Structure 1
Amino acid sequence: MAQNMEMRIDIKVGLNLRFEGAPEQTLLGRVVSDTVAVQLQDYRGLQPKLQVASGDRVLVGQPLLQDRGRPELVATAPVAGTVKSINRGARRRLSQIILQADGAESVPFPTFDSRQIDGLGAAKVREALQQSGLWLALRARPFDCVASPAIQPRALFITAIDSNPLAADPAVVIEARREEFIAGVSALAQLPSGNTYVCLAPDTNIPLPQNARVQRAEFGGPHPAGLPGTHLHATGLEVRREPDLWHVGYQDVIAFGSLLLRGQLDGERVIALAGPGVENPGLMQVRLGSALSALPVPHKEMDKQVIAGPLLGLAKKADYLGRFDLQVSVFPAGASVRKSGGIWRNAALRLLATPRTSESLPPVVRPHAGMLPVEVFERVWPYRTSPAALLRAVLIGDPDDAVQLGCLGLAEEDLALCNLVCPSGQDYAGALRRTLERIEQQL
């Protein structure tokens, strides 16, 4: 039987932030939201064409929309019910589909046993992903867009580590669904021409299928040790302009394994509900796209704001969970969200750095006198390149220099710590996205 390859990477720089209200790593219950949202902002690169109208009945796994140029790419319903509303944003672009959940009927999909899954082949794996809508969980670098079905990936990164503050421990979630996770990894590993890297925290007891092309990659150290950009960079793979390095989250791997074993689309995820505004922080099972108003908050006696998404990178005030949101945090109303940089506290919250970092740098405090800005960035920059030149290139919008300096392997979340520690409050994450869009337009 083929043995898994193993690698261990220790991230020496970064920043771990600790807040009050860390979640107990225990599933506390299940929340049933009467309405859920499918949000188009979660699917970069998709050109949507509606397949339903307001008032239509839908089943779990039924297509709601498809890509105009690639009709095999569909977004499917995570619940059974009725299309409550179809919302549009600027220039009448489709932005959101709201579903009223009132049933459990599901579109049936083919089932396979574990031995069959091991030998499915890339074509059948692609077919299952596309028909179920789970293909949209695959994201590609560069550009961090929906993976193209016309491309065979050189490598696949399965993110089974989360170094964001107040996040759920992936090992806890995976342990409860070992069979589905192993099945999902086994199937997805048939897609790339090269290795599938299952990225984990050190010494994590997460099971893997016995496959020589499935590599166990452990990442230790502070945030951003849990980000796909860090994992991709650590392998030393060249990032080309063709988006052929893919990544996928561990709960989507579980959902795909469940689809193959059970023949039904799993429209639920486990999230961390945490923060100083939650009395009993822990893990909750929720529907994809659940309304935040359905969650059991607020509890403590304070004015609050509820934030969806990781605190370092893409945290946002919203009415519904996004497709990739695996945490919801509740903070005092006075806390502010820095653009693409995270949520920060008023004086009531504690902000600490781990011993691996030389000092804590709250965003409201400038570095001490005499420290050059480049030194600030180097303390949170885990990549081989020097940060100063790249950050300058994306700020001025120079795509040629940015490519030479390594921007193609990055997404906004990878520059969130630079936003945080920047003494002048620059939005490097937003500048990176604009630069990537210019590069993509040139292709």
Structure 2
Amino acid sequence: MGKSIRLKKGYDIKLLGEASKEIAEIPAADIFAVKPTDYLSITPKLVVKVGDEVLAGSSLFFDKKRPDINFPSPVSGEVVEIVRGAKRKVLEIRILADKTTKFVKTAIPSKLEAQSIKDTLIKGNLWSLLKQRPFSIIPSTEEQPKAIFVSTFDSAPLAPDLSFVIEQNKAGFDKGLEVLEILASGNLEVGMEAGASLSVSSGNQNEFSGPHPAGNVGIQVHHVSPIKPGESVWYLDAQDVIILGEFFNSGEYHADRLIAVTGSEVSNPSYVKLKIGQSLAKLFAEQVSESNVRFIQGNVLSGATSHSEDFLSFYTSQLTVIPEGNKAEFLGWLLPSTKKLSLSRTYFSWLTPNKKYDIDTNTHGEERAFVMSGQYEKVLPMNIMPVQLLKAIMAGDIERMEALGIYEVAEEDLALCEFVCTSKIEVQKIVREGLDLIRTEG
């Protein structure tokens, strides 16, 4: 029996454009692109060139520093373009997909043990499904975590209903948890939403209630098994657990995701079934009619800015489209209004806590003096001092960063701090800089 944890700190941002529980069909895409930039802290080395034929699951590139970690093609077809940026950095490997997908077949051992699971994931080029805390990077194949975490719910704005997603392939999800429990030597921690109807048969089940970021795996790790220096935990997104389970059921890499297409600028917010790397051009052309909008892969708090001709990134399970905030506003925030979302009682949104808002990207001000206001502590359900931690990062003080809990956080955990910040500090950028610094020099 796991823990039952009630979080009081946090905030649920209610927005227009929630995905209805229906799965829409979209035209098949011809071009797919795999982006090495989706993966933090790797240096890609290509194993393919233009004109090569690839299978779904075959390696496209590996990490120069850890050559046993390879990254797979989501489809079979022909490599038609290698897109490079500054200093010949590889940005995309584009593939013209076959009409019928052909797969690499990986032999699955009859008896699953932790080492045989590791060996099979490495051989099948799927080690990249795993991520680790600290640093939110792909773990080393030589390490063993103290636990593996899976969160079965997402509390971010307009996030997909993971219970609905999991039920579409419950067998794959259950198989994935079974494999992870063996890989974790029995130390599998599954985060469950209080009151949810979803049931799982593997792992230690911990129940969470409270506002966002209750669904963040980092918050769950903090309250169940805090990370100390020298320790690590691994984690997977719920849809990656399904991919893992399907792989151990079939020996094939099925790169399918059920994507929540959300936001006030989407004509029919719903779910669509896409493959990783699939072109989004047709989807956005059908769903978005306005031109002055922000495309986001992920949620409005921690997602990455995208564009209408982009391709689905490896870890994306939500697409959001909201208005750009580049229009002048008369008197700005000096003008009282019931249409503005604010955590402060200076405005009237606190009188209608269930109202859904149509927000844009306007930050309503520029960066100013970084002062202690107590705002961060109200929305961060972690036993750390966020302002002091951020200032230690900005000062490059590694020893103080460690003492203040740098190992326990990632950008998404402090995204709400950035949202409420009156100083307009780029909190998530600072956190990433701190994590990169301590990983390379700590």
Q: TM-score, normalised by structure 2?
A: 0.86
Which blocks of at least 5 consecutive residues in structure 2 are unaligned? 328-336, 366-370
CA distance in 1, matches of 2:83, 2:149: 33
Structure 2 vs 1, CA of residues 18 and 134 (structure 1 numbering), >3 Å: closer, same or farther?
A: same
Structure 2 vs 1, CA of residues 434 and 55 (structure 1 numbering), >3 Å: closer, same or farther?
A: same
Look up the match of 2:305: 316
CA distance in 1, matches of 2:425, 2:298: 21
2:281 counterpart of 1:290 = no
Contact 2:152 2:192 survives alignment (8 Å): yes
CA displacement at 1:167 relative to structure 2: 1.4
Look up the match of 1:154: 146
Amino acid in the other structure paired with 2:237: G
The higher-RCO structure (CA 8 Å, 6+ apart) is: 1
Contact 1:275 1:329 survives alignment (8 Å): yes
2:46 counterpart of 1:50 = yes
CA distance in 2, matches of 1:330, 1:269: 19
Look up the match of 2:137: 145
CA distance in 1, matches of 2:281, 2:145: 39
CA deviation vs aligned residue, 1:280-338 (integer Å, no higher than 9, x gap)? 111110010222213154546533332212221133124122111111112224469xx
Structure 2 vs 1, CA of residues 21 and 297 (structure 1 numbering), >3 Å: closer, same or farther?
A: farther
Contact 1:42 1:322 survives alignment (8 Å): yes
Look up the match of 2:16: 20
Amino acid in the other structure paired with 2:73: A
Match of 1:129 among 117, 121, 124: 121
Structure 2 vs 1, CA of residues 424 and 14 (structure 1 numbering), >3 Å: closer, same or farther?
A: same
Contact 2:45 2:61 survives alignment (8 Å): yes
Look up the match of 2:106: 109
CA distance in 1, matches of 2:97, 2:326: 33
Structure 2 vs 1, CA of residues 68 and 289 (structure 1 numbering), >3 Å: closer, same or farther?
A: same
Equivalences for residues 44-443 of structure 1 within 5 A: 44-103=40-99, 104-111=101-108, 119-193=111-185, 195-210=187-202, 214-241=203-230, 244-299=232-287, 301-303=289-291, 304-318=293-307, 319-334=310-325, 351=341, 364=363, 373-443=372-442
CA displacement at 1:240 relative to structure 2: 2.1
CA displacement at 1:81 relative to structure 2: 1.0
Deviation larger for 310-319 or 244-253: 310-319
CA distance in 2, matches of 1:281, 1:348: 25
Contact 1:16 1:352 survives alignment (8 Å): no
CA displacement at 1:263 relative to structure 2: 2.4
Structure 2 vs 1, CA of residues 351 and 280 (structure 1 numbering), >3 Å: closer, same or farther?
A: farther
CA distance in 1, matches of 2:245, 2:163: 16
Contact 1:19 1:351 survives alignment (8 Å): no
Contact 2:301 2:415 survives alignment (8 Å): yes
CA distance in 2, matches of 1:305, 1:74: 32
Contact 1:290 1:320 survives alignment (8 Å): yes
Contact 2:412 2:428 survives alignment (8 Å): yes
CA displacement at 1:419 relative to structure 2: 1.2
Q: TM-score, normalised by structure 1?
A: 0.86
Amino acid in the other structure paired with 2:433: R
Structure 2 vs 1, CA of residues 90 and 204 (structure 1 numbering), >3 Å: closer, same or farther?
A: same
Aligned-residue CA RMSD (Å) = 2.7
CA distance in 2, matches of 1:432, 1:299: 34
Deviation larger for 390-399 or 182-191: 390-399
Deviation larger for 174-183 or 123-132: 123-132
CA distance in 1, matches of 2:51, 2:363: 48
CA displacement at 1:170 relative to structure 2: 0.6
Structure 2 vs 1, CA of residues 294 and 132 (structure 1 numbering), >3 Å: closer, same or farther?
A: farther
Structure 2 vs 1, CA of residues 299 and 248 (structure 1 numbering), >3 Å: closer, same or farther?
A: closer
CA distance in 2, matches of 1:12, 1:146: 31
CA displacement at 1:30 relative to structure 2: 4.9
Amino acid in the other structure paired with 1:200: M
CA displacement at 1:159 relative to structure 2: 2.4
CA distance in 1, matches of 2:289, 2:167: 35
Which blocks of at least 5 consecutive residues in structure 1 are unaligned? 337-346, 367-371
CA displacement at 1:394 relative to structure 2: 2.1
Structure 2 vs 1, CA of residues 238 and 314 (structure 1 numbering), >3 Å: closer, same or farther?
A: same
- Secondary structure, in 3 states, of the residue corresponding to 2:144? coil
Contact 2:294 2:305 survives alignment (8 Å): no
CA distance in 2, matches of 1:196, 1:33: 37
Amino acid in the other structure paired with 2:3: M
Structure 2 vs 1, CA of residues 88 and 375 (structure 1 numbering), >3 Å: closer, same or farther?
A: same
CA displacement at 1:79 relative to structure 2: 0.7
CA distance in 2, matches of 1:77, 1:386: 42
Amino acid in the other structure paired with 2:319: V
CA distance in 2, matches of 1:12, 1:70: 41
- Secondary structure, in 3 states, of the residue corresponding to 1:145? coil
CA distance in 1, matches of 2:85, 2:233: 31
CA displacement at 1:349 relative to structure 2: 7.7
Equivalences for residues 30-49 of structure 1 within 5 A: 30-49=26-45
Contact 2:77 2:96 survives alignment (8 Å): yes
- Secondary structure, in 3 states, of the residue corresponding to 1:283? strand
CA distance in 1, matches of 2:237, 2:33: 20
Look up the match of 2:331: none
